[in-house]
Amino acid sequence: MIENNWPSYHITAWKNWINDPNGLVYYQGKYHVFYQHHPYEHKWGPMHWGHVISDDLYHWEHLPIALYPDENGTCFSGSAIVDHDNVSGLGKDGIAPLLLFYTADLNGESESQCIAYTLDGINFEKYEGNPILEHSEYRDFRDPKVFYYEPDNAWKMIISVFDHIEIFESTNLLDWNLINTFSTESVINGVWECPDLFPLQFNDETYWVLILSVGPKPGEGSTRTQYFIGDFDGKNFTLLESSNSIRFIDSGLDNYAITSFSETEERIMITWAQNGYYAPATPKYGYCGQLSAPRLPFLFEDISGNLSLGFRPVDLPETINSSELKTHSSEGKMYAELSNKPLLIEFGLDSDANFELELYNDSGETLSFSKEGTELILDRSKALGNIDHEAFQEDFFKIHKAEQKLNEPSNYFIFLDSHLLEIYAENGTNVFTSTIYPKSPLDKAKISESTKAKFIELDTFKPAISVENLAKMNLKEDE
């Protein structure tokens, strides 16, 4: 963990609150990530869209806030597309516009869909015809995900509507028609949010993956993100029989509202790596929450023969300097001394092998990750001394378990950057995303010697924000 407690290679707000990643897109030679943002406090509030850009998905630069609340409401989650053919008519001088689709929430009483657009990726103008979609029946009508479906030569939009998905179609990105709905009972209790729908290949066949985040009320369980595998024909999403069950994308509890980039060759995804239930109670270091490192989703057949979803991290760029730590062994354990830098841990494991990893300090604080038989166990119960929240009275929020997914040798990749821990176990078929809040840095590590693990430290990095862009944040009394 770094001295000032800010992550180096994970997106935070330039100050205060961040939640859902929004509008992930590659535009004019840059990766753009927008995010739900409350710039005034260390908690959720009137939503803006924060904005960062990168050349490599790990070194980020803050740009001015992209969207502010207006007469239609605050700016909830959404997506971004590039209108290459200018079917919207919002382009100019041959420049393809970048369109942001977002939900306007009006005083928590109604929600509608709106558009903002830009020709330079920095300065945004809201469409004069907003809102483009309203709902006469449901108050929870949000988080539009827009994508082009080539077989129909049309754009599709999926929106979460309380307890189902509504599918819309358009040829000009401005006028939308409802063409179908999707619902299933295989969802935990809560309001449906932040859907995504995209194709993935497995064994030369195309499947479609539906991502769905579900938000229970505070105190009624944890927010979780589920996935479903099926087929999409432009109008109907049909589940595979084996996928009509509750399956989570992550065995940790700090993974919500994951969404994918548009305009990239590979399917790249980023998630909100925090839990909204206890996020406001996190230490006040100037920021609240972070997004995950970029991930690549893939399909695989698990140990039971079920088609399942896994994730691999996007490779770190060579521009990040790293150094492998020296280790010593004693009584079947490998030991390493850690500094406050971001840390990678890499090792391979046979399918029938066990191991135990511990990160700890002299104060008795410990984080452990282990495999016992066919069970993977992440225990952060002794690494939460610097956060006080009722959630951590329950083991459910402190100890996370998952069953083995593969019956073959596999690799483990663990990434610790300040308070965020990302574990890609069994080649990424088992993922744990979890935050930790020890009172003192965990500056020692030990692991089963049989793993032959590598401990690699990375140089720290402070995301850039220019004086000019800081001045353009234009914070105002817009609540």
The tens digit of pLDDT for each residue in 133-151 reads 998 889 999 999 999 999 9
- In the residue annotation, 204 being an active-site residue is answered as no
Asked whether the predicted pLDDT for residue 71 surpasses 80, the reply is yes
Rounded to whole angstroms, how far apart are CA atoms 311 and 73? 35
Please give the pLDDT value at position 3: 45
Residue-wise pLDDT for 383-441, tens only, equals 999 999 999 999 999 999 999 999 999 999 999 999 999 999 999 999 999 999 999 99
Share of the chain above pLDDT 70, in %: 97
Q: Is the pTM of this model over 0.85?
A: yes
Residue 388's region, left for phi above 0, alpha for psi from -120 to 50, else beta, is: beta
Dihedral, CA of residue 458, residue 460, residue 464 and residue 465, to nearest 10: 150
Whole-angstrom CA distances from 80 to 73, 98, 200, 452, 471 are: 19, 7, 20, 43, 25
Kindly report each contact of residues 172-175 with a partner whose C-beta sits within 8 Å and lies 24 or more positions away, as own/partner. 172/87, 172/88, 172/89, 173/81, 173/83, 173/87, 173/88, 173/99, 173/115, 173/146, 174/88, 174/89, 174/115, 174/127, 174/129, 174/132, 175/132
Candidate list 20, 83, 140, 250, residue with the active-site label: 20
Domains of the chain, start order: 16-313+464-473 (2.115.10.20), 322-458 (2.60.120.560)
Structure tokens belonging to residue 191:
């309001």
Q: Which residues contact 435 (CB under 8 A, 6 or more apart)?
A: 254, 273, 274, 275, 282, 419, 420, 421
Write out pLDDT tens, residues 366-378.
999 999 999 999 9
